[in-house]
Structure 1
Amino acid sequence: MTAPLALRWGSATSPGGRSTNEDALLAQEDVFVVADGMGGHDAGEVASATAIEVLRSLVGRGADPDTVRDALVEANDRIRALPEGHGRRPGTTVTGVVLTVHESTPCWVVLNVGDSRTYRMVGAVLEQVTRDHSEVAELVADGLVRPDDAPYHPWRHVVTRALGGGTPTVEPDLDVIAVSPGDRMLVCSDGLTDTVPDARIEADLKAESDPQAAADRLVATALAAGATDNVTVLVVDAPAVLPSA
């Protein structure tokens, strides 16, 4: 199956303040995902690479949510089968979008496990379309931590869901949203969002019409702001005019 839309995209990644890069990404035809590995640099790199390897099987299929879920379950099983690294099980977050068609309408299947994020910008307004699976996000949802304090909370990096790790099963968030003309999707690891506020991310996305230039600019902004973690960014643009059904 060919992709229902001719998308444009760009990607950029940097180890940031770390000696190695445990992030991995996939940007190909109709599948755009970022994985942020955990468990020490050897284990984290292998975990994120394993997730990407499994999800690569979705490319060109216009996969529906059930097919995406099956791939995430397979990735979880394969990562759990990896050897432990320095006493910690390998694990990884994963987030992104898969382009598909639902009832003749081009749609994004938005997937998420962990605290990497997917955003959507339409009409020049940036909106986070995934929910962080983290201790701090739960505390904010329960009204125990103010949203403005969340970026500085000592538990901000404690994830409650991941592929691999110590959990035998995976519960991915999967949503389907119709593609709007001119949609710009941003997929990123928390190395960006921990360092750069959403308002600056939105401004950088508006400043660059080319998706590769936008991805490069966001990584440069994070590095200039002193990013201490790996930073990975995918920017995916839908055409301004969509085909009629």
Structure 2
Amino acid sequence: MYPQLAIEAAAQSDVGRRRSHNEDSFAALPCVGLFMVADGLGGNAGGEVASRMAIEVVKGCFEEGEDLEETWPYGTATPHDRDEVRLVLSVRRANRAIYEASQRQEEVRGMATTFAGVLLGAGMAYIAHVGDSRVYRMRGGRLERLTRDHTLLEELLGDSDGAREAVQALSNRARTITRALGADENVDIESRVEATAPGDIFLVCSDGLWGPVPERRIAGILEAHRDLGFAAELLIDLANEHGGPDNVTCVLARLGGEAAAHAERAPAGTAPEAPAERAAPVVTADRNEASGAARRRPAPEAQPPKRQASPATAPDATAQAPVASAVSAPAPLASPAAGAAEPLSTSKPSAMQPKRKF
């Protein structure tokens, strides 16, 4: 029996102010500790198909216990290693599925998607990403980015801030994506492992949020509002107030223990806030509203359609409002069956553990 994790979650997505079509997809699954965002590329039907496939394939690997048909020495591995590798192999399977569908179907030829996901386990967070969708962690009032964008700018300049600003000012190609799921038969998936603490908030989002909105504003909302559902709505509204240049999606997950942590930070004599009420434990959606402009090619300014609840894909579910949930989730652990496949390659820029190659 694995330890139980109390996870509260909320998710929200919007088409933005310059698009007529939403190619983002997402999933918030507190019951398995899995939170994901995919931002489709390719325009028209292609982007939405690719992002939806990425979410559904990875989700299926955890919910249905599918064999991942990969070779890996699980007998000598720790549970932590198994969880990290399962996440990475699930994303790899999604890449293959998108690429093969793209080759078979002319109408979605060339489709691809970014991906960012975090799997929360007992005391650990496992992160995997491709492209420029991001994972952040909010802890002790400080927002920290846990992923590195796979863009032309990041590849060329690394962490040189001065040169970064110069290239951004001179080039409109600075944010060109250099890695995406489905773009090729194989893809380098970047992963890392982080220790968690009670009260940690993880934010998974598309570039429609972090692009127009400064990180200090994102941190301010997460620090000021403990209601994750309300915080998610505010983040979407803030992106639209900053021009809403792209589809915008955010998924929030908070580990149990925030009430106690909040009480410790509160002034003496201040009563802790009541915990959020339980709600539906699953949010999974692809926000496709109407066909329109290709991603990253702004359409003429237009009044955005009214934001609606995202349709859930759980059985018997109907369209519902953004969901906040608090559930006890088992720490994730699943062992894929052994089989022949390409060797796993991961990169973990975490200070907590040395880089490893599987």
Instruction: Supply the RMSD in Å over aligned alpha carbons.
Output: 2.4
Q: Secondary structure at the match of 1:160?
A: coil
In 2, Cα distance between equivalents of 1:10 and 1:231: 14
In 1, Cα distance between equivalents of 2:250 and 2:23: 13
- The one-letter code sitting in structure 2 at the alignment partner of 1:229 is D
The partner residue of 1:108 within 122, 125, 128 is 125
- The one-letter code sitting in structure 2 at the alignment partner of 1:56 is K
Residue range with higher mean Cα deviation, 135-144 or 223-232:
135-144
- The one-letter code sitting in structure 2 at the alignment partner of 1:191 is G
Name the residue aligned to 1:186.
203
> Within the alignment, does 1:128 sit opposite 2:145 as a pair?
yes
Q: Secondary structure at the match of 1:169?
A: coil
Deviation readout 1:75-132 (Å, 9 max, x if unpaired): 011000123666851100000211124xxxx211111111010000101100000011
> Within the alignment, does 1:196 sit opposite 2:201 as a pair?
no
Name the residue aligned to 2:88.
69
Which 4+ residue blocks in structure 1 deviate beyond 2 angstroms? 1-4, 59-63, 83-88, 142-153
Structure holding more strand per residue:
1
Q: 1:142 to 1:110 in 2, by over 3 A?
A: closer
Q: Percent identity?
A: 37
Q: Which has the higher contact order (CA 8 A, sep 6+)?
A: 2
The partner residue of 2:230 within 213, 224, 228 is 213
Q: Secondary structure at the match of 1:81?
A: helix
The CA deviation at 1:228 is: 1.2
Could you tell me which runs of 5 or more consecutive residues in structure 1 were left unpaired when the two chains were aligned. none
- The one-letter code sitting in structure 2 at the alignment partner of 1:93 is T
The partner residue of 2:115 within 94, 103, 109 is 94
The CA deviation at 1:66 is: 1.1
**8 Å CA contact 2:45, 2:108 repeated in 1:** no
The CA deviation at 1:141 is: 1.0
The CA deviation at 1:150 is: 6.3
In 2, Cα distance between equivalents of 1:131 and 1:125: 18
Q: Secondary structure at the match of 1:163?
A: coil
In 2, Cα distance between equivalents of 1:217 and 1:147: 29
The partner residue of 1:232 within 237, 249, 255 is 249
> Within the alignment, does 1:15 sit opposite 2:15 as a pair?
yes
The TM-score with structure 2 as length reference comes to 0.62
Deviation readout 1:134-160 (Å, 9 max, x if unpaired): 101123317496344566541233111
**8 Å CA contact 1:136, 1:156 repeated in 2:** yes
